[in-house]
């Protein structure tokens, strides 16, 4: 059997999607290995969750920009990924826009999950955008990452109803349940291609 694809997960927050991926791997539902979990936030919960699974972690260099790494910081990230023989970069709540050094180093090898049915509600807090728009249904999307935000080729989507009385929190929680099913399944599809 061929070697397991080597994944790095990048995240800035609580890492529930990372946990769903790692649990799918441990359950034999996703044929891959997470060899590195990296965050731009030194105190991100995703890092302690990774350590809980015994996985190596890294904190990315501080950036003067809120929405992206510095160009040098992103080059350092590429070096870190290459040193670890990473084949796929999996974004899981990573709050920095991916720029050219990373895109060029991993063409069609960076995957993201977004909490809406793209192309609807790109950008931040997509569940709040869905509530404000009054739609009856939203969802989540796994897609390739390119230079345009939340606009790369779609790999898979899962629908989620907006229910009467939903708050931003209740809707986001329902979307996250769907994310945790969709991400491992969509990634398994990509890796089997
Ligand atoms: C998810 O809702 C994901 O769609 C978005 O950021 C959130 C990350 O959540 N990109 P978590 O850190 O995986 O819990």
Residue spans of the domains in the chain: they are 1-107, 113-179+186-193
- Strand 57-59 versus strand 33-39 pairing type: parallel
CA angle 150, 160, 189 (to 5 degrees): 60
Q: What is the pLDDT of residue 25?
A: 98
Q: What is the pLDDT of residue 150?
A: 96
Which residues, other chains included, contact 55 with Cβ-Cβ below 8 Å and sequence gap of 6+?
22, 34, 35, 36, 37
Cα–Cα distances (Å) from 118 to 114, 141, 152, in that order, read 8, 6, 10
Tell me how crowded residue 180 is: count the other CB atoms within 10 A of its CB: 19
Q: What is the pLDDT of residue 2?
A: 76
Mutate to test the pocket of ligand 1, among 21, 34, 92 (most ligand atoms within 8 A of CB): 92
Q: Is 159 helix (H, G, I), strand (E, B) or coil?
A: strand
Task: Tell me if 1-107 shares its fold with 113-179+186-193.
Answer: yes
Residue 180: active-site member: no
With CA atoms as reference, report the closest residue to 138 among 162, 170, 157. 162
Distance CA 8, CA 22 (A): 11
Residue of the CA atom closest to atom 7 of ligand 1: 93
pLDDT string in tens for the chain (193-residue length): 579 999 999 999 999 999 999 999 999 999 999 999 999 999 999 999 999 999 999 999 889 999 999 999 999 999 999 999 999 999 999 999 999 999 999 999 999 999 999 999 999 999 999 999 999 999 999 999 999 999 999 999 999 999 999 999 999 999 999 999 999 999 999 999 8
With CA atoms as reference, report the closest residue to 98 among 12, 5, 186, 190. 12
Q: Taking the domain 1-107, which CATH number applies?
A: 3.40.50.170
Residue of the CA atom closest to atom 2 of ligand 1: 115
With CA atoms as reference, report the closest residue to 11 among 34, 36, 44. 44
Tokens 């999307």 label which residue? 141
Q: What is the pLDDT of residue 1?
A: 59
Instruction: Decide: 115 in ligand 1 pocket, CB within 6 A.
Output: yes
CATH of 113-179+186-193, one of 1.10.101.10, 3.40.50.170, 3.40.50.300, 3.20.20.105: 3.40.50.170
Is residue 108 a contact partner of residue 144, using CB atoms and an 8 Å limit?
A: yes
Distance 145 CA to ligand 1 centre (A): 15
């Amino acid at each position: 059997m061929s070697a397991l694809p080597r994944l790095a997960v990048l995240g800035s927050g609580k890492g529930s999607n990372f946990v769903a991926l790692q649990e799918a791997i441990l359950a034999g539902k996703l044929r891959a290995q997470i060899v590195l979990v990296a965050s731009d936030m030194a105190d991100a919960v995703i890092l302690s969750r990774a350590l809980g699974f015994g996985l190596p972690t890294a904190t990315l260099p501080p950036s003067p920009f809120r929405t992206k790494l510095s160009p040098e910081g992103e080059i350092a990230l590429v070096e870190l990924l290459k040193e670890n023989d990473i084949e796929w970069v999996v974004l899981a709540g990573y709050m920095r826009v991916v720029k050219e050094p990373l895109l060029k180093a991993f063409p069609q090898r960076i995957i993201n999950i977004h909490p809406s049915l793209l192309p609807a509600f790109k950008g931040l807090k997509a569940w709040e955008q869905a509530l404000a728009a009054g739609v009856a249904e939203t969802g989540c999307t796994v897609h390739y990452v390119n230079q345009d935000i939340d606009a790369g080729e779609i790999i898979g989507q899962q629908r989620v109803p907006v229910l009467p009385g939903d708050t931003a929190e209740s809707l986001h929680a329902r979307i996250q349940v769907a994310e945790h099913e969709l991400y491992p399944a969509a990634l398994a599809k990509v890796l089997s291609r």
